[in-house]
Amino acid sequence: MGRAPCCDKTKVKKGPWSPEEDAKLKSYIEKYGTGGNWIALPQKIGLNRCGKSCRLRWLNYLRPNIKHGDFTAEEDNIILNLYISIGSRWSIIAAQLPGRTDNDIKNYWNTRLKKKLLGKRRQQEDLNGSTLSSSALERLQLHMQLQCQQQPQQNPLSLFNNQTLWPHKLHPFLQDRLIQHNDFQTINPIQFEDLDQISSPNGSASSETSNGVDNNNDDNNMMSTNMDSNGYMGMERISSFQAELDQLLGGNDNSGVNEIEGISGWWSNDSKSTNWDASTNLQTESALYQNYAN
């Protein structure tokens, strides 16, 4: 038994908004506000639209100070960093980009930014003759989705300061997520098997059985499968993953194809950024999570 719909879908108008409808909605909200009730709003104005549709139209198009048009390199940078940090939380990402809407950013990511990154990756693979099976970006996304599902309460800033745990450089959020997500092979062995091949071509690092199921699915999984006796977790894997991301984002090449300036800063080999608690590197993310937690 589903819940009652917010309006009678057969009686309200759907599809693109006319200039008249826009004008009605805009002038009413500018005069009286939304009144805290979008569902009742169309009736008050005399619009034959669903309240949700009115809300969307206002937020994504009619609201003042909405920015349309091309995204700047700085905006690309912010979107990318936040996407890698928190995944497809478009409303949170939008909150960091004044004038941009979540819908806008979502569309921009899906239609352009992702392709821009993946396209560059393909270009580099062609040049190198490399045949990596799937993009680090997509794997990273999957990884983050799984992470969020499994440990939604986890503080993403919890581990990145520990350089004993992380002798190599990697963005703290990635490291945090990787080390927490210790059973990633168990969850989706197919998705991650090529990662094994990068760091261990004969596949010996994996404890996977022939049917693709990892038997090391216990609380000590990280220790048993991904850490050696010194407590280091699959660093070959992580560093090759990092290298792949570096390459993807142009951090290690000088070919001039780095379309998005600055994005490689926090995972570059620049000695200036070795201290992960440096506020310069993490100010944005820290502020973000602070805001989000509030």
Partner DNA sequence: AAAAGACCCAACCGCTCCCGG
Partner DNA sequence: GCCGGGAGCGGTTGGGTCTTT
Under 8 Å between Cβ of 137 and 121: yes
Phi, psi angle pair for 104, to nearest 5°: -60, -50
**Nearest distance from residue 220's CB to DNA, in Å?**
30
Residue with Cβ nearer DNA (67 or 268): 67
**Nearest distance from residue 144's CB to DNA, in Å?**
10
Residue with Cβ nearer DNA (113 or 170): 113
User: What does 248-274 look like in DSSP terms, one character per residue?
Assistant: HTTTT--SS---STTTTGGGS--GGG-
**Nearest distance from residue 110's CB to DNA, in Å?**
6
Per-residue x/- marks for DNA, 94-123, CB under 7 A?
--------xxx-xxx-xxx--x--------
Burial of residue 269, with CB atoms counted within 10 A of its CB: 0-12 exposed, 13-18 middle, 19 or more buried: exposed
Under 8 Å between Cβ of 216 and 207: yes
Residue 255's alpha-carbon distances to 123, 201, 206, 249, 251, in angstroms, are: 11, 28, 35, 12, 10
Q: Which two three-digit tokens encode residue 171? A: 């963005």
H-helix or E-strand spanning residue 143: helix 136-150
Residue with Cβ nearer DNA (15 or 46): 15
> What part of residues 78-97 is at the interface with DNA (CB under 7 A)?
88-92
Asked if 10 touches DNA (CB under 7 A), the answer is no
Residue with Cβ nearer DNA (142 or 223): 142
> What part of residues 11-70 is at the interface with DNA (CB under 7 A)?
13-17, 34, 36-40, 49-53, 55-57, 60-61, 68
Phi, psi angle pair for 139, to nearest 5°: -65, -40
Q: How many chain residues touch DNA (CB under 7 A)?
A: 42
Residues that bind DNA (CB under 7 A): 2-4, 6, 9, 13-17, 34, 36-40, 49-53, 55-57, 60-61, 68, 88-92, 102-104, 106-108, 110-112, 115
